[in-house]
């Protein structure tokens, strides 16, 4: 790790000021993505500004048909929250399936979404549920937010305060974990909105990170059953290929995981 200076954030104004004025700044939340990158000398922020104590990033509340999750909520808080369990049980169970116990008590939803790892879990839920990312500057719809592998629409210094999820009629998540990293090799989040619309978001498999599988959405909107998915053929051309899965294998998995997520409405299917 390179030399760095840690600043504990006290207020939104203060952290924004620090970020604007200090050389090579970076926000840090749980640090479970950033710190490993720093240890491997792949990231070298000179100043780390910790967001976790800011009140604007804390708390999980149900507000009418919206579930609001503060960006600094760690995965264990989301997994253990009665509000989440009652509103979107698949989201609580998704959080409970992230990494291991240590990861779940340190990693945060804001950090995960800001980082947009192509195999991270939350981006699939955020995209499929049509959530809104609330920042210190604006509100960004999920489908505008994720712009490619490790890329988001966030501007330099922009802070995610919370994520607002419309409560769906039902949602389910299915994932096959990479036996090494335990991240998703392929995972699919299938949500049915209160208006009957269907959204399918796939993580772990796409060459460009999380993506919506529109063919499946359409087929499922017509008939919400696994058979609708089984008739489809995801395109290997848009899949990731690495040591753990070829593009062809991932394409096959996308179908299997999506069908399982349909089956798992109200829950998750993790293997």
Partner 1 sequence: MNAHPDGGRSGNALGAGDIPQMNWDQTGPEMKMVRDALFRHVGKPVRRKEDHRLLTGKGRFTDDFLLEGQTYAAIVRSEHPHARIISISADAALAAPGVLEVLTGADMVQDGIGPLAHNPLPSTKFDMKLCAPGGGIPFVGEHHALAIDKVRHVGEAVAVVVAETPGQAADAAELVEVEYEALPHVVDSAQAAAQGAPVIWDEVPGNVFVESSFGDWDATERAFATAAHTVEADFHVSRVTAVTIEPRAAVAQYDPETGRYELFAGSGGAVKHKGELARCFGIDANRIRVHSYDVGGNFGARNRVYPEFALVMWAARRTGRPVKFTATRSEAFLTDYQGRDLRTKVALALDADGKFLAMRADNLSNVGAFCVSLSPLSKGAGLITGSYDIPVAALRARAVFTNTMCTQAYRSSGRPEVTYAIERLVELAARKLGVDPLELRRKNLVHPEQMPYRNAVGQYYDSGEYEQNMDRALELFDWDGFAARKDEASQRGKLLGRGFANYVESSIGSPKERAEIEVFDDGRIEVVIGTQPSGQGHETSFAQVVADMLQVPVERVFIIIGDTDVVSVGGGSHSGRSMRHAGTVMAMASAELLALARGHAAEMLETAADELAYADGVFHQRGTNRSVSLQDLAARLADPLRVVTDNEMHTPVFPNGAAICEVEIDPNTFHVAITRYVSVDDVGRCINPMIVHGQTHGGIAQGVGQAMWELCAIDHDSGQPIAGSFMDYGMPRTDNMPFFISEIAEVISPTNPLGVKAGGEGGTTPALATVTLAVLDALAGMGVEDIAMPLTPQAVWQAVQDAANTQAKK
Ligand X SMILES: Cc1cc2nc3c(=O)[nH]c(=O)nc-3n(C[C@H](O)[C@H](O)[C@H](O)COP(=O)(O)OP(=O)(O)OC[C@H]3O[C@@H](n4cnc5c(N)ncnc54)[C@H](O)[C@@H]3O)c2cc1C
List residues binding ligand X (CB under 6 A). 26-34, 36, 51, 57, 71, 98-99, 103, 106-108, 110-112, 114-115, 117, 120-122, 159-160, 182-183
Residue 40 binds to partner 1 (criterion: CB under 8 A):
yes
Restricted to residues 125-184, the positions that interact with partner 1 (CB under 8 A) are 176, 178-181, 183
248 binds, among partner 1, ligand X, none (CB under 5 to 8 A by kind): partner 1
User: Shortest Cβ distance from residue 145 to ligand X (Å)?
Assistant: 11
Nearest to 187 by CA among 256, 235, 116: 256
Closest CA to 90 of 271, 268, 270, 228: 268
Q: 193: which DSSP letter?
A: -
CA separation for the pair 7, 95 (Å, rounded) = 28
Alpha helices, H only, the chain: 12-21, 34-39, 75-80, 82-87, 89-96, 101-106, 109-115, 122-128, 142-145, 214-222, 226-230, 247-263
Residue whose CB is less far from partner 1, 155 or 243: 243
- When asked if residue 24 is in the footprint of partner 1 (CB under 8 A), the reply is no
- 244's contact among partner 1, ligand X, none, with CB below 5 to 8 A by partner kind, is partner 1
Q: Please select the residue that binds partner 1; options are 33, 104, 245, 268, rule is CB under 8 A.
A: 245
Indicate the residue among 107 and 172 with the shorter CB distance to ligand X: 107
Q: Does 244 bind partner 1 (CB under 8 A)?
A: yes
Q: How far is the CB of 2 from partner 1 (least distance, A)?
A: 7
Closest separation in Å from C-beta 84 to ligand X: 16
DSSP 76-106: HHHHH-HHHHHH-HHHHHHHHTSS-HHHHHH
59 CB burial (10 A radius; 0-12, 13-18, 19+)? middle
Note whether 58 binds partner 1 by CB under 8 A: no
Nearest to 130 by CA among 161, 81, 176, 88: 88
Q: Which is nearer to partner 1, 9 or 209 (CB)?
A: 209
């Amino acid at each position: 790790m390179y030399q760095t200076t840690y600043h504990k954030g006290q207020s939104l104004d203060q952290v924004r000021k620090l970020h604007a004025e200090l050389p090579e700044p970076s926000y840090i939340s749980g640090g479970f993505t950033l710190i490993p990158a720093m240890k491997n000398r792949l990231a070298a922020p000179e100043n780390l500004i910790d967001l976790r104590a800011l009140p604007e990033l804390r708390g999980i509340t149900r507000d009418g048909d919206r579930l609001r999750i503060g960006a600094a909520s760690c995965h264990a808080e989301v997994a253990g929250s009665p509000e989440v369990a009652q509103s979107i049980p698949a989201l609580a169970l998704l959080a409970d399936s992230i990494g291991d116990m240590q990861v779940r008590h340190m990693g945060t939803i804001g950090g995960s979404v800001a980082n947009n790892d192509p195999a991270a879990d939350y981006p699939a839920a955020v995209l499929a549920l049509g959530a809104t990312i609330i920042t210190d500057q604006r509100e960004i719809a999920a489908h505008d937010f994720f712009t490619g592998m490790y890329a988001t629409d966030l501007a330099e210094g922009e802070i995610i305060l919370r994520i607002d999820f419309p409560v769906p009629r039902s949602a389910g998540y299915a994932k096959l974990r990479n036996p090494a990293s335990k991240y998703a090799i392929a995972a699919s989040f299938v949500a049915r909105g209160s208006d009957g619309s269907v959204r399918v978001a796939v993580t772990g498999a796409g060459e460009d990170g999380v993506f919506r599988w529109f063919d499946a959405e359409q087929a499922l909107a017509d008939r919400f059953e696994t058979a609708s998915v089984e008739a489809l053929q995801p395109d290997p051309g848009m899949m990731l290929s690495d040591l753990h899965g070829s593009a062809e294998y991932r394409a096959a998995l996308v179908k299997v995981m999506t069908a399982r997520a349909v089956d798992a409405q109200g829950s998750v299917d993790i293997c």
